């Protein structure tokens, strides 16, 4: 801890050639051990005829085929419980963290003792990035236990000498009690839960001015970088709100925004980030949106070589105004490649619907995108379900304005259904935005 603007001045402001040299050394170490010690990776290398020594630059890694979650699942089913890509020996294992299973059978991942140390340290860095300092009271409303972010931020808050309220993603009333007393100064949770806490705060008649909370970082799902969502969280809680991102297979809290709020900074000394065009399999140009593909440079227990995250983002290596040189994804995670909705020939993502819905003062923060089948016409129907705040104008006029707003953003007009506040279920974890009831 430097005690100044940066958590680790040398690493965070390293010039790109030096950073890439460090990445290359670590990549060679990782490729070699995976090739020698993991039959799973060995088979993949042999299929393509590539050997670790053939990869002589960071760009050449594109010749190694990406690993998908489905492949990890199949490998673990064939070789239970961890598959044959567990490289560190059993005696070095520290923690088990399966994926949430929201998209199928959970995939098990393991952190070695050294991985736990690295994760704690890079998370301390990402928390420092958005302004967490020793003495802060960190209300950790990320889910604890098997889920990754509760643990990583807890370790990091300890490393930063903060006072932690380890409440987890539960008990909304007590979340508010702790915001009042001891008076948490940093809140960590999903953006949907932050909005829910803000909503309850208002319902209890507590002004954001009456709580000492000053910043929060929100991950587990996208949305924090949607301007209207960020504004709602900031106003509702009286804070500066920052974006956070991580994923089970790679690790928690691997990127956060800095105080410039200029996109997610990656911990590039631990993870090699690529953005790949899903149609061509080639690298996207800087600023172009594609699928994030990640390679562990330091992970010991279960290393991933080119993990296909399915998450969409862009990447820039332009130096940030904060002085950090590590690459950023401006605008954060834009959605999941398989969340893309194709409706009447147009393609769009839930985050675009969120952008529109959250810009209407008459609407609550909740929304759903319902997909059904019109059996007579044999077509899909896409309905955006929203909640209208009580006594805020005529519902019909609002519906037609909302349709117009959605058309401008999505280039197609969905149906709109306006319901009273409280009709849609609130979540303390990740919000489910798409309800697919189509007849397959």
Binding residues for Zn ion, per CB under 5 A?
A: 258, 260, 320, 322, 324
**Cβ distance to Zn ion smaller for residue 73 or 324:** 324
**Cβ distance to Zn ion smaller for residue 13 or 427:** 13
In DSSP terms, 419 is beta-bridged to 387
Structural tokens at position 370: 């319902």
Report the alpha-carbon distance of residue 342 to residue 380 in Å, rounded: 10
Min dist. Cβ of residue 287 to Zn ion (A): 16
**Cβ distance to Zn ion smaller for residue 210 or 318:** 318
Min dist. Cβ of residue 320 to Zn ion (A): 3
Residue among 127, 125, 120, 133 nearest 161 (CA): 133
Q: Count the neighbouring beta carbons within 10 Å of the beta carbon of residue 288.
A: 11
Q: Count the neighbouring beta carbons within 10 Å of the beta carbon of residue 344.
A: 12
**Cβ distance to Zn ion smaller for residue 4 or 49:** 4
- Between the two ends of the chain, the Cα-to-Cα distance in Å is 54
**Cβ distance to Zn ion smaller for residue 111 or 242:** 242
Min dist. Cβ of residue 222 to Zn ion (A): 19
**Cβ distance to Zn ion smaller for residue 15 or 210:** 15
Min dist. Cβ of residue 261 to Zn ion (A): 9
Min dist. Cβ of residue 328 to Zn ion (A): 7
CA angle 336, 342, 346 (to 5 degrees): 115
Q: What are phi and psi of 340, to 5 degrees?
A: -65, 130
Report the alpha-carbon distance of residue 201 to residue 175 in Å, rounded: 10
**Cβ distance to Zn ion smaller for residue 68 or 316:** 316
With beta carbons less than 8 A apart as the criterion, state whether 64 and 44 touch: yes
Report the alpha-carbon distance of residue 249 to residue 220 in Å, rounded: 13
**Cβ distance to Zn ion smaller for residue 126 or 140:** 126
Min dist. Cβ of residue 420 to Zn ion (A): 42
Using DSSP bridges, classify how beta strands 215-218 and 186-189 pair: parallel, antiparallel or unpaired.
parallel
Residue among 240, 291, 245 nearest 430 (CA): 245
Min dist. Cβ of residue 143 to Zn ion (A): 27
To the nearest 10 degrees (0 to 180), the angle between helices 39-48 and 16-37 is 110
Min dist. Cβ of residue 96 to Zn ion (A): 33
Burial 252-285 (b: 16+ CB within 10 A, else e): bbbbbbbebebbbbbbbbbbbbbbbeeeeeebbe
In DSSP terms, 336 is beta-bridged to 311
**Cβ distance to Zn ion smaller for residue 37 or 260:** 260
Report the alpha-carbon distance of residue 320 to residue 423 in Å, rounded: 42
Min dist. Cβ of residue 440 to Zn ion (A): 44
**Cβ distance to Zn ion smaller for residue 131 or 166:** 131
Helices assigned H by DSSP within 160-219:
172-180, 191-203
Using DSSP bridges, classify how beta strands 137-140 and 186-189 pair: parallel, antiparallel or unpaired.
parallel
Min dist. Cβ of residue 262 to Zn ion (A): 5
With beta carbons less than 8 A apart as the criterion, state whether 13 and 6 touch: yes
DSSP letters along 84-114, please? GG--S-GGGEEEE-----TTSSPPP-EEEHH
Structural tokens at position 207: 């002004």
Min dist. Cβ of residue 10 to Zn ion (A): 16
**Cβ distance to Zn ion smaller for residue 320 or 363:** 320
């Amino acid at each position: 801890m430097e005690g100044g603007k940066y958590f680790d001045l040398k690493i965070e402001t390293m010039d790109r050639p030096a950073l890439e040299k460090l990445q290359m050394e670590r990549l060679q170490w990782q490729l070699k051990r995976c090739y020698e010690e993991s039959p799973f990776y060995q088979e993949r290398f042999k299929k393509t005829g590539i050997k670790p020594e053939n990869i002589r630059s960071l760009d050449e890694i594109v010749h190694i085929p990406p690993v998908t979650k489905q492949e990890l699942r199949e490998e673990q089913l064939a070789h239970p419980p961890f598959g044959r890509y567990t490289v560190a020996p059993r005696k070095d294992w520290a923690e088990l963290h399966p994926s949430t299973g929201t998209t199928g059978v959970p995939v098990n991942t393991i952190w070695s003792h050294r991985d736990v140390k690295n994760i704690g340290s890079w998370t301390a860095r990402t928390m420092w990035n958005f302004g967490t300092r020793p003495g802060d009271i960190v209300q950790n409303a990320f889910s604890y236990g098997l889920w990754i972010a509760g643990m990583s931020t807890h370790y990091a808050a300890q490393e930063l000498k903060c006072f932690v309220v380890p409440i987890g993603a539960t008990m909304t009333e007590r979340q508010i009690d702790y915001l009042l007393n001891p008076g948490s100064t940093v809140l960590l949770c999903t953006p949907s839960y932050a909005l829910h806490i803000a909503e309850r705060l208002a319902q209890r008649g507590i002004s954001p001015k009456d709580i000492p909370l000053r910043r929060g970082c929100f991950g587990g799902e996208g949305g924090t970088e949607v301007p209207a969502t960020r504004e709602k969280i900031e106003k509702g809680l009286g804070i500066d709100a920052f974006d956070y991102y991580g994923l089970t297979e790679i690790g928690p809290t691997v990127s956060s925004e800095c105080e410039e709020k200029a996109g997610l900074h990656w911990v590039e000394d631990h993870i090699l980030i690529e953005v790949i065009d899903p149609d061509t399999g080639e690298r996207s140009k800087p600023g172009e949106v594609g699928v994030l593909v990640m390679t562990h440079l330091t992970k010991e227990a279960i290393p991933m070589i080119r993990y296909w995250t399915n998450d969409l983002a862009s990447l820039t290596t332009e130096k940030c105004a904060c002085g950090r040189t590590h690459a950023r994804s401006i605008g954060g995670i834009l959605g999941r490649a398989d969340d893309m909705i194709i409706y009447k020939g147009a393609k769009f993502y839930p985050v675009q619907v969120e952008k529109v819905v959250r810009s209407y003062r008459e609407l609550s923060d909740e929304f759903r995108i319902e997909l059904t089948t019109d059996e007579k016409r044999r077509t899909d129907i896409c309905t955006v379900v929203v909640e209208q705040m009580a006594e805020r104008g005529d519902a019909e006029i609002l519906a037609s304005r909302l349709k117009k707003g959605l058309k401008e953003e999505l280039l197609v007009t969905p149906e709109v259904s306006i319901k009273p506040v409280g009709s849609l279920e609130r979540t303390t974890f990740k919000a489910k935005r798409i309800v697919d009831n189509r007849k397959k």
